[in-house]
Structure 1
Amino acid sequence: MQNSKIANDWDLVIKGHTSLFDIKFKDLWHYRDLLLLFVKRDFVSFYKQTILGPLWFFIQPIFTTIVFTFVFGNLAGISTDGLPQYLFYLSGITAWNYFSDCLTKTSTVFRDNSNIFGKVYFPRLIMPLSIVVSNLVRFGVQFLLLLCMMIYFYSFPVEGTSFHVTIGILLFPVLVILMALLGLGLGLIITAMTTKYRDLTFLVTFGVQLLMYATTVIYPLSYAREKGYSTLVELNPMTGIIESFRYAFLGKGEFTFWSLGYSTIVTIIILFIGIVIFNKTEKNFVDTI
């Protein structure tokens, strides 16, 4: 009788066999302090041994924008829909970098943290969520750079180009959430698969770079339509997000509620599949990692 009473006093019961859809979202809230600690760890450890530190937040998008402007804008002569080339490429890079960082860093979460997962219990979903939140800091810095560039080109306009902020700016929080959740969902699927198929780790970075060319980062959707492959580009859920992002802040881009709705539905489906697969894999990945 006494043993039964003690057993009922436990705050947490860890079971060996649970439902595939038993995600334990309540535990995520209870471990929110751990989430913040992981965010701080990711931010500090990544730049602790670098000379320039957080300045890399600015350097990477600036140099990428310069290269894209020279190669695709000047040499290839690809249209930017009447936008200043630097603004066009920087806006696409800012949105794409956040999505790709969430995807690539989440895709190795099992491998990179196997030593922690095998020793102590906490909701495993905390780890990929911390990656998404910590990348949000980098996105915020690069977005600030974009705003500074907008102010510069508004003060010193380039002949033959123009831009303006639209009411679509109200959708900005939604767009950021979609970027994060899409990267998270794809990353969860890949990290679950890499516990058995290690080769996928080497393909992720390469695959993400190829995927960028199937998105309107370096060319507008109108250019893809002229070349006859807009349908393939529009199937990429990031296309609707980036086009909406450009429309909101620069007034150019083919924004429609249909395209944004498509991106939202695909993101929700991918996120759901990712969480389910991640939840299934976390129960026995220690045996295969």
Structure 2
Amino acid sequence: MSDQSMQHGQTDKDESWDLIIKSSQGSTLDISSVWKYRSLAWMFFKRDYTTLYKQTVLGPLWYIIQPTLISLTYYVVFGKIANLSTDGLPPFPFYMSGAIIWNFFSTCFVSNAETFSKNANIFGKVYFPRLVIPISVAMSGALVFLIQMVVLLLVSASIILSGQEMAFYFRFIVFIPLLLLYIFLAGVGAGLIVSALTIRYRDLIYVVGFLAQIWMYGTPIVYAFSQIPENYRWIYYINPMTTPVQLFRQALFGTPGIPAQLIVANSVIAIFIFAAGLKLFSRAEANAMDTV
């Protein structure tokens, strides 16, 4: 083989290597590459599912027990002791509907906020689009939501069959996937933002759980939106999680909705959060292994 052909072959290899480095360290995220690694996202999804309940007695039953216990706690504390309104709904469906919506958002937000710190060993060994990890986490959260959604439907059906008066609009369940997409954008976007910031500010890892708790109580989960004084409602209008919680209850139980312009505005906010998260995450991805 001639020196010229060897040099040409070496150049081809170098150019190919340059393309790989550019895709992993560029400031823009190649979304299409995530689809190519969808099987890896599925593998991480199964890993999270099996490790979460490995060597536990009840296993996946915790998906059912957790929202049930939370709803009972909310019922005692906020329903009986604080005597807060539930917009005419039986307390248990009211609290459970808010709890399962928030669980999905919390998974997308809090779990993804630690993407770089939790997966440093994997990231240091092999290259793949880092966005695969947050997507697999959201997939796990969506599965849990669907299971808990079935529990909520069974609870609602049992209440209706027992003779209690409660409206239920089964036909509007078809809109639930849109709400999940909305929560995915807001939750994963916020998680990506925090994850990118934790590369320089490690303390955020310890603060994010506390921030999520504050955010929850700033969302009409354990109290009805109608009970919020008019002069404070603007705070809830700029909270992107107000919209899915209210729409979820409205779709299932016919509770009072929210203005259409608020839905549009919060949808724009959710998209902006996701876009900002992608931008910051892709920038942080290049330097993550040097600082984490």
Question: What TM-score does the superposition give when structure 1 sets the normalisation length?
Answer: 0.93
The aligned counterpart of 1:250 is 253
1:111-130 Cα offsets, whole Å, 9 max, x none, are: 00001111111111111111
Match of 1:164 among 160, 168, 173: 168
1:262 and 1:54 mapped to 2: Cα distance? 37
The aligned counterpart of 2:81 is 75
Q: Which structure carries more helix by proportion?
A: 2
Greater mean alpha carbon deviation, residues 185-194 or residues 45-54: 45-54
The aligned counterpart of 1:222 is 226
The aligned counterpart of 2:92 is 86
**SS at the partner of 1:108?**
helix
1:256-283 Cα offsets, whole Å, 9 max, x none, are: 3222212211110000000000000010
**SS at the partner of 1:122?**
coil
Question: What TM-score does the superposition give when structure 2 sets the normalisation length?
Answer: 0.92
**2:266 pairs with 1:263:** yes
The aligned amino acid for 2:58 is L
The aligned counterpart of 2:44 is 38
**2:113 pairs with 1:107:** yes
Task: Report the aligned-residue RMSD.
Answer: 1.9
Listed as ranges, the matches of 1:1-289 within 5 Å are 1-2=4-5, 3-5=7-9, 7-8=11-12, 13-15=19-21, 19-21=26-28, 23-158=29-164, 161-165=165-169, 168-225=172-229, 228-289=231-292
**Which runs of 5 or more residues in structure 2 are unaligned?**
none
- Is the Cα–Cα contact under 8 Å of residues 247 and 255 in structure 1 kept in the other structure? no
Question: Residue 46 of structure 1: CA displacement?
Answer: 1.0
1:53 and 1:66 mapped to 2: Cα distance? 21
Question: Residue 5 of structure 1: CA displacement?
Answer: 4.7
Question: Residue 16 of structure 1: CA displacement?
Answer: 5.4
**Which runs of 5 or more residues in structure 1 are unaligned?**
none
The 1:8/1:64 distance shift into structure 2, 3 A limit, reads same
- Is the Cα–Cα contact under 8 Å of residues 39 and 133 in structure 1 kept in the other structure? yes
Aligned length: 285
The aligned amino acid for 1:279 is S
**SS at the partner of 2:229?**
helix
2:158 and 2:87 mapped to 1: Cα distance? 19
